[in-house]
């Protein structure tokens, strides 16, 4: 494996090239198959983990991952730290840079992660922000590669809220050459700036990136059908409005997926609300690979930490 990512912050997938993503996926798969081979690869390294949003998979996968690589994690909830009491990000970044070897942050505003990375002298990893979820999509790409061994000629349909998942899936797909069709109701579509970025990246890779309204068109002949909760963290006050806007039309159910490939796989970043964005028959059925996908968070993030924290 090359070391082109050493010391680099990963805030969005735009910072990665196609070859770097493929290297990360290959490394993650090898780590999954041969964990003992890497068990001392980050010996003595310390990862600081800052949480301003609730977490299950992100916390467990990063904390387990750094330990499995021989390192340690320091977990900080923002409310229990000085950053939660208004300490300038500049001060937090510079102080942490003297204590640890990397920072993972799960927060709201992308501007906060950008400032943290700009001020820190150690790599910063975006564990989730309002606009991006790069670590989840690295795990998704790993899962897709495990099933097909390629990205070109593969189509992923994302049905639902045009949120951070939609943005990162479009950008990630565009980089590696995978077609991504996103279908969202009017008023809940992906931000235009990220659609434009993804479509520009797709010009180089040959991928087709679409932001649509009709989920039936988006899912046509899809190899993977993906959805997420309709109300992400931070938008709870819009829950009733969102339930009304999405309705049955945007639910991933047997009728909708009948237009996908016969052997399609179902993806969801979890947590899921069965009966809302997806039926139990789909997420718990034979096409679902959501637990494989969730496990791959561990392996993809181990690969990412290995590359940036060496």
Residues marked as catalytic: 106, 133, 136, 228, 269, 297
CB atoms within 10 A of CB 79: 10
Q: How far apart are CA 250 and CA 253, in angstroms?
A: 9
Tell me phi and psi for residue 162, to 5 degrees: -80, 65
Report the distance separating Cα 137 and Cα 165, nearest Å.
8
Q: Are 278 and 251 in contact (CB under 8 A)?
A: yes
Q: Looking at the chain, list the stretches that DSSP marks H as alpha helix, in order from N- to C-terminal side.
A: 18-33, 57-68, 89-97, 110-119, 134-148, 164-176, 192-205, 215-218, 239-246, 254-257, 280-283, 290-309
Cβ neighbours of residue 30 closer than 8 Å, sequence gap 6 or more: 37
């Amino acid at each position: 494996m090359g070391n082109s990512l050493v010391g680099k912050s990963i805030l969005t997938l735009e910072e990665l090239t196609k070859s770097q993503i493929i290297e990360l996926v290959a490394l993650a798969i090898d780590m999954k198959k041969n964990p003992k081979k890497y068990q001392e690869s980050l010996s003595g390294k310390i990862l600081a983990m800052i949480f301003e949003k609730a977490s299950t998979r992100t916390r467990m996968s990063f904390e387990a991952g750094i330990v499995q690589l021989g390192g340690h994690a320091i977990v900080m909830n923002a409310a229990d730290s000085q950053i939660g009491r208004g300490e300038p990000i500049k001060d937090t970044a510079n102080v942490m840079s003297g204590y640890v070897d990397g920072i993972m942050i799960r927060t709201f505003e992308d501007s906060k992660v950008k400032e943290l990375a700009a001020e820190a002298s150690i790599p910063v990893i975006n564990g989730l922000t309002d606009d991006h979820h790069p670590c989840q999509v690295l795990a998704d790409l790993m899962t897709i590669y495990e099933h097909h061994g390629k990205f070109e000629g593969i189509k992923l349909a994302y049905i639902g809220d045009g949120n951070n998942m939609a943005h990162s899936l479009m950008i990630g797909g565009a980089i590696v050459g995978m077609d991504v069709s996103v279908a969202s109701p009017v008023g809940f579509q992906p931000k235009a700036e990220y659609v434009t970025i993804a479509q520009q990246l797709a010009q180089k890779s040959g991928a087709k990136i679409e932001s649509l309204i009709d989920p039936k068109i988006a899912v046509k002949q899809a190899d993977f059908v993906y959805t997420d909760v309709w109300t992400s963290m931070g938008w709870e006050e819009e829950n009733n409005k969102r339930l009304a806007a999405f309705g049955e039309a945007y639910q991933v159910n047997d009728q909708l997926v009948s237009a996908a490939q016969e052997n399609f796989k179902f993806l969801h970043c979890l947590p899921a609300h069965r009966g809302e964005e997806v039926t139990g028959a789909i997420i718990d059925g034979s096409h679902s690979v959501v637990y494989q996908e969730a496990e791959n968070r561990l392996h993809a993030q181990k690969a990412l930490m290995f590359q940036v924290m060496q």
